[in-house]
Amino acid sequence: MLNFQPETPNRKKRVIIGLGGGIAAYKVCELVSTLFKTGVEIRVILTQAAQQFITPLTLATLSRHCAYTDDDFWQGSQPRPLHIELGEWADLMVIAPLTAHTLAKLACGMADNLLTNTVLASTCPVLLAPAMNTDMWEQLAVQRNWQHLLTDGRFHGMSTASGLLACDRIGAGRMAEPPEILTYIQSLLHTGGKRDLTGKRVLISAGGTREYIDPVRFIGNPSTGKMGLALAQAALHRGANVTLVHGEATWDAPLGVEAIPVDSAAEMQEVMQSNLPNADVIIMSAAVADVKPKVYSPEKLPKRSLPQSLPLESVPDIVAELAQLKQPHQLLIGFAAQTGDIITPAMAKLQNKQLDMIVANPIDAADSGFGSDYNRAVFLDKHGNKVEIARCSKLQLAHLLWDFVVFFHAESQRRGE
């Protein structure tokens, strides 16, 4: 058995949050507060402009540590230069909001305040969440600086959202929301900033399907699609191009992911097959219905007209059909949600449906499976490897699966497959 258990950290992770001068700075309060609750140590740096929008006292209170400003930098009250201490301390730096001014400085390697000096004095990954007026964001000079900065492997850029901005303009330039930034932070703390899926095209199915009896009644299941969402987030953060085919969802797909909503198993089958030829890795994490009503009523049936018995017929076995269509260079991964013994049926599914890998997860374990933010699983592959994953967040499980995929690919190359 391979040792793929999550590593137990020997210390808390350390994150520096740097704030530029923009109205989106108020959102960082939520980010800092939530990040602290996850057990991360936080240091906050405010530029002089950022202090016009939010006070150091607020962020010091939320981070449980003094928030640094340029006054601390220039006074030199530390035994060692403050930017050196902070740069060596950090596992990750986050700059949110990233303004056009700070972006230009970073693109040119300038260092004229505490934040930019700390960036140059560090070697850790840097996550950038830009925020500015649409016209500012779309300026050729700003886009040139943005693209140039992202050629440096240290820097990880979040896409801006579109919507109503504080200037009443509707358009691009809105900073990513705190939950999305938090997820990216958690990804980078797991990977250390590596982009081992760069150039890979990933196709993921998520959530449950619905098989309708009439326009308001259907056969379904409790799947929320959170596991598939986590797989998409983790792949995106590791450099992949991601297409997410999902059933009914209460969440929004991450910025940068192509999301395709579907309803029934037949719709999911059609979309998955049409996107299959362009994919390198396919993950069927969706909870697809096994049966559907033989007869569909296009009008709502009165209660008195509901059938006492409901004739059913099978729906397409999507993962089995994908296995027949996939090419040798493609990797197909299935999921098996089970109660009781999860290994035996997962092994049978792995072999009978000719999958490369399968994830067996219990849906009867406490606080895991359908609807939960946590999961536990056993990874099985066609080479006979078996990896047990203890209860962890679905995002962490997603990263562990991608770690296993990278391992599987390396082992397959070694075998000459």
Question: How far apart (Å, rounded) are the C-alpha atoms in residues 18 and 46?
Answer: 6
- Residue found by looking up tokens 């000719």 in the block: 354
Among residues 403, 394, 354, the alpha carbon closest in space to that of 375 is found at 394
Question: How far apart (Å, rounded) are the C-alpha atoms in residues 339 and 357?
Answer: 20
By DSSP bridging, strand 201-206 and strand 170-174 are unpaired
Say which residues have a Cβ less than 8 Å from residue 400's Cβ, sequence separation at least 6. 4, 6, 379, 389, 392
User: Out of 66, 108, 167, 392, which one is annotated catalytic?
Assistant: 167
Question: How far apart (Å, rounded) are the C-alpha atoms in residues 5 and 103?
Answer: 38
Question: How far apart (Å, rounded) are the C-alpha atoms in residues 122 and 1?
Answer: 38
- Residue found by looking up tokens 């705190």 in the block: 178
- List the structure tokens of 201: 């095209």
Question: How far apart (Å, rounded) are the C-alpha atoms in residues 252 and 254?
Answer: 6
- List the structure tokens of 22: 């923009």
Among residues 115, 182, 109, the alpha carbon closest in space to that of 152 is found at 109
Whether the link from the prior residue into 178 is cis, omega within 30° of 0, is: no
Question: How many residues does the structure list for the chain?
Answer: 417
Active-site residue, 124 included: no
- List the structure tokens of 133: 């007026």
DSSP state of 166: T
Among residues 236, 252, 143, the alpha carbon closest in space to that of 198 is found at 236
- The residues annotated as belonging to the active site are 167
